[in-house]
Structure 1
Amino acid sequence: MDSIDDDDDVPQLSSHALAALQEFYAEQAQQNTEHLEPEHKFSVGAVEEDWQLSQFWYSDETALNLAKELIQSCGENGRIACVSTPSIYQKLKGLSAENISVCLLEYDRRFSVYGDDYVFYDYNDPLNLPESLEQHSFDLVIADPPYLSEECLRKTAKTIKFLARSKVLLCTGAVMEDLAATILGLKICKFVPKHTSSLANEFRCYSNYPLGLDIQV
């Protein structure tokens, strides 16, 4: 879930209904990818943005720019963790960086079609991670907390701090600037992420290192 506006008026499914819905989506996504050649298995069309799950994905240009930034900055044989950023994950796989390994931590179980790259992730239980995700084992972590709230950012930050060896790139609302600095020590960047849908909230990128695609404010 790349970006989500916190809206209490949106109907909520029961946990049982949501699990059934996600299982259905996973089956559909698997069927959609079975006929593809291996090099096309991770195309953006394999799993599509779902507004019913409050998903708002980055524009193709933003996803491409961020994916290139991640590959450039993680170093040779680097490891990248994508926390709630499925469209970035898909773009990374599309770029086919042979020496880069990528992991997607995501609540939406449809992404289980990506096999071992996928890890089910619920920000409400930020350290409930498989043993394969060792502490400080990722050269770069990119995250987009699913809600614009202090609680969500603080919980997601626990995951980020656990996974990150050094570099962190956060994409979230401009209103979260002070919290991003306080909780994670991140500075706002000039690069402004865009989405496929028009959102009411302004979004920005924050990092703890100089981005190759721009400079920090």
Structure 2
Amino acid sequence: MASDSDDDVPTLSAETLAALKEVYMEDQARQALLAKMVDDKEALNKAILEEEDWQLSQFWYDDATIQSLVKVIDKTVQDDGKVALISCPTLYSPLKDQLRTQSGDRATVRLLEYDNRFLQLAAMDFIHYDYNEPLKLPPEMSHSYDLVIADPPFLSEECLTKTSETIKHLAKDKIVVCTGAIMKEHVEKLLNLKVCQFKPGHRNNLANEFCSYANFDLDDVLKS
């Protein structure tokens, strides 16, 4: 005999169950497709970048921004240098292409990113990164990077403060941060960076104005 509590247990309609099953099957198909693309980095990169996860505050850079930031990295990092990309995964593949030579990559790149889809793309260069645990990183990464570029995922003082801990832990020289103009005072206070003329753009227009901040003359590098 069913108790009164049994009557209170919510049940899903047949239509809702069917919809959930359809979503589940679509997700499985998408993951299977990505798995097949592992050996085709260009196709894999394109497939991932077609999907922005707004719950993760993912807003991909436009092509002009990617080209500009890759140029800055290429011109400021010496051979055998080290670059850390924090929460800006769209830079990874174009940067790797730019740094590749006949004898191999001329500099090391590490991608610190929360979205594990980029593990399939970056492989050994990928480090799962959660800004809520800013120092949960391999010890050998401490103060090892000639250039750190970061794009904190959320426009909040909390997110920027924690990401700044990571930046200061990794950096031994140059730093670039791309974030909202409203974060200017916090960026200056936390990292002693100055706002640049260069403004990052995104594939989908955002309501918030974005700026770049650096501890070197980024605009001069872009003019060269």
CA distance in 1, matches of 2:27, 2:127: 14
Report 1 or 2 for greater relative contact order, CA contacts < 8 Å, sequence distance ≥ 6: 1
Larger Rg: 2
- Residue 43 of structure 1 deviates from its aligned partner by 6.5
Cα distance change on mapping 1:25 and 1:116 into 2, 3 Å? farther
Aligned to 1:186: 193
Match of 2:17 in 1: none
Contact 2:134 2:165 in 1 (8 A): yes
Q: Aligned residue for 2:36? A: 31
Report the Cα offset of residue 200 of structure 1. 0.6
Give the corresponding residue for 1:57.
60
1:58–1:194 CA contact under 8 A, matched in 2: yes
Is the 1:103–1:117 contact (alpha carbons within 8 Å) kept by the matching residues of 2? yes
Distance 1:156 1:24, change over 3 A: farther
State whether residues 44 and 91 of structure 1, in contact with CA within 8 Å, keep that contact through their aligned partners in structure 2. no
Tell me by how many angstroms 1:91 deviates: 1.7
Per the alignment, in what secondary structure is the counterpart of residue 72 of structure 2? helix
For structure 2, which runs of at least 5 residues remain unmatched after alignment? 1-25
Partner SS, residue 168 of structure 1: strand
- Normalising by structure 1, we get a TM-score of 0.80
Query: Match for residue 47 of structure 1?
Result: 48
Instruction: Select 1:126's aligned residue among 110, 116, 134.
Output: 134
Structure 1 residue ranges without an equivalent (≥5): 1-20
Q: Distance in 1 between matches of 2:206 and 2:163?
A: 21
Given candidates 209, 214, 217, the residue that maps to 1:202 is 209
Residues 1:180 and 1:27: Cα distance change in structure 2 (over 3 Å): farther
CA distance in 2, matches of 1:41, 1:54: 24
Number of aligned pairs? 190
SS of equivalent residue, structure 2 residue 177: strand
Distance change >3 Å, CA 79–CA 24, structure 1 → 2: farther
% of aligned pairs identical? Answer: 43
Q: 1:27-59 CA deviation, whole Å, 9 max, x = no partner?
A: 54332233x2xxx55874152242344311100
| In structure 2, distance between residues paired with 1:54 and 1:24 | 24
SS at match of 2:205: coil
Matched, 1:69 2:69: no
Matched, 1:84 2:91: no
For the 8 Å contact 1:106–1:118, the answer to whether it is kept is yes
After alignment, is 74-83 or 22-31 more displaced? 22-31
Tell me by how many angstroms 1:100 deviates: 1.3
**Alignment partner, residue 213 of structure 1:** 222
When structure 1 is superposed on structure 2, of 65-74 and 138-147 the one drifting more is 65-74
Q: Which has the higher helix share?
A: 2
Q: How big is the alpha-carbon RMSD for the aligned residues of Structure 1 and Structure 2?
A: 2.3
Q: CA offset at residue 94 of structure 1?
A: 2.7
Looking at structure 1, the residues matched to 164 and 27 of structure 2 have their Cα atoms a distance apart, in angstroms, of: 26
